[in-house]
Structure formats: C-alpha cells, structure tokens
Amino acid sequence: MVVLICVDGARPDGLSRAATPHLDRISRDGATCLTVKPVHPNLPLAGQQSLFRGVTPDVHGAKGAELNGFKRTIPSLIDLLAQADQKVGMFYTIPSLREICLPDSAAVNYCNARTHVSDGDNHIVEMAIRTAAMEDFDFLFINLGHAGYMGAHYGWDSDEYIQAMTFTDNCIGKFTDALIALHQPVDFVIASNHSGANSAGPDDLPLYLWGYRVVQGRKITTPVSLLDIAPTIAFLAGINPSSEWQGRLIAEAIKDTPEAEAHHQTTVFGLEDY
C-alpha cells in the first residue's frame, strides 16, 4: 500500500516552531526534504492540481482561487492508479480536491469540509482508519486542511497556525500508527501543496517519505519540486508515470535505485518502533 498525506499549507519554518514528535520520528526513520519548490502561483488550487497532475499551473490552468480555465486533459495520478485496477480511497477536508481525478476513479471518495476546526482533520483520520480496517486499498489519499485554514486567516507566523501544526502532527501519528497495525507493507509520502501566497520568508515546502522502500535517515540533497511527487508515488505503486508529467522520480530516497545505492546506506523499516 502507498499512502499520501497532504497537509494544506505546511511550511518548514512552521514545523520547526511546532511540537512535532511524530514527524520527527518519520524524519529519522525515512527520507526528508525541507526545500521542495512549490509551483507559482503558490496557491492551494494550483498546488493541488500540480501535485496530482505533475505539471505547472500554466499547463493545467488552475491559477487562482477558482477553477476557471482548469484543463482536465492532463492525466491525474489517481486516474492512472484506477486504470491500473488499483483500489483508491480519498479522505479530504477541502471540497475542491474532488477535481483531482475523475468521479469514478476512487472506490471511496469522502469529504468533511470543516477546515475551520481541528476536529475536521481528526474526523478525516478516524474515518480513514475505520474504512481501511474494512477494505483493502492499494492507495490512500488523506488531506488535512486545518493548518492551512489557520495560516490563511491568522497569519503564517501566528500562534494559531503553530498550534494547528502541532495538532496536525498528532493526527499524522494517530493515522500512521493505526495503518501500520492494519497493513504491512506500507509506504508513506507526507507533503504540502502550498506554503501560503502571502507568507513572509522562503516559500519552500516540506516532504517526508517513510516505509519499506524508503532509505532510512536520508536528507535528500538533489533538488525536489512539487511536480516530483506524482512520479515518485507512481514508482512506489508500480505504475508508469504519464509521459505528460514534468516531474521526475525522487530516486535518492528510494531503496535499490542507483542514486540511493550511491550513498551506501542500508534501510530497515519494521515494527520495532511501534
């Protein structure tokens, strides 16, 4: 199983101020990049579509606060997974995420649009855990939107945003622990789709990879962009990326690739941490 957790509006500087014991553990045991380049405009809708369609906003057309001009012709990661007969589950708090794939591509498509309260993220996590306990998925997508809401409304350096990032970390720990207890093996990709259009400082995004096929303790040194996430998940899921995608596999983070072997690092991922 491959799992993508997208934390709306996650920023490395916010994570550094928040209490994040679960992401800290994932960083130690997996591969991490805190300098992922976003797309521009650095906005939620643009980032959502670029993450899943592997192209820049000038190609997919989602450039503003609405989907005016958006083109659905670029293959989505989730559509390709469905075409390969992989079972997909989607659990999200932002309604526009319905547009990241065709309506029938996900076996489960669940939205709880309550980003203004932290309980919305917790509800998404609990629903995903309950559903995963009853059904076997090949790919799960979890969207946590509360931190992005708080950053947009209170400021990306506000105490409210930092508190939301701490709560998000708790949700990530709750979900990853539960899923590993239910399913083995599993590979996690934890990413962000944007870092706040009006934020001060660097606009970099965080990225964490963790699992059986991920190199342990790796700080990724090669340049990474938001467009590289879809090809990397496609590789982990065992499908071919679209020829239209502009990103590339983050090979340095994946075991048994020439780029990873060049670092001479051994990976162990198991149950001893749980």
What pLDDT score does 270 carry?
46
Predicted pLDDT of residue 199: 64
31, 253 in Cβ contact below 8 A? yes
Residue 55's nearest CA partner among 194, 242, 238, 236 is: 242
The residue type at 185? P
Model pLDDT, residue 267: 42
Distances, alpha carbon 50 to alpha carbons 62, 165, 194, in Å: 9, 23, 10
Alpha-carbon dihedral angle through residues 125, 89, 238, 185, given to the nearest 10 degrees = 40
Of 219, 117, 134, nearest in space to 171 by CA: 117
DSSP-derived 3-state class of residue 170: helix
Whether 219 contacts 32, CB under 8 Å: yes
Say what the pLDDT of residue 10 is.
Answer: 95
Name every residue whose Cβ is closer than 8 Å to that of residue 25 and which is 6 or more positions away in sequence: 273
Distance, in Å, from the CA atom of 146 to the CA atom of 144, rounded to the nearest integer, reads 6
Divide the 274 residues of the chain into consecutive groups of 10 and give the mean pLDDT of each group.
96 95 96 95 89 93 70 89 97 90 94 80 95 96 95 94 96 96 92 81 92 94 96 97 96 84 52 36
Residue 246: what pLDDT? 95
Distance CA 237, CA 77 (A): 10
- 137 touches 182 (CB < 8 A): no
In DSSP notation, 232-245 reads HHHHHHT-PPPTT-
Q: Please state, as a whole number, how many other Cβ atoms lie within 10 Å of the Cβ of residue 32.
A: 22
pLDDT of the residue at 66: 65
pLDDT at 92: 94
Strands 205-211 and 2-7: unpaired
Task: Report residue 178 as tokens.
Answer: 């539960």
Distance CA 274, CA 271 (A): 6
Domains of the chain with CATH codes? 6-34+75-202+210-217 (3.40.720.10)
Please state, in angstroms and rounded to a whole number, the distance separating the CA atoms of residues 216 and 104. Answer: 36
> For tokens 């939620």, what's the residue?
44
Q: What does the pLDDT read at residue 197?
A: 67
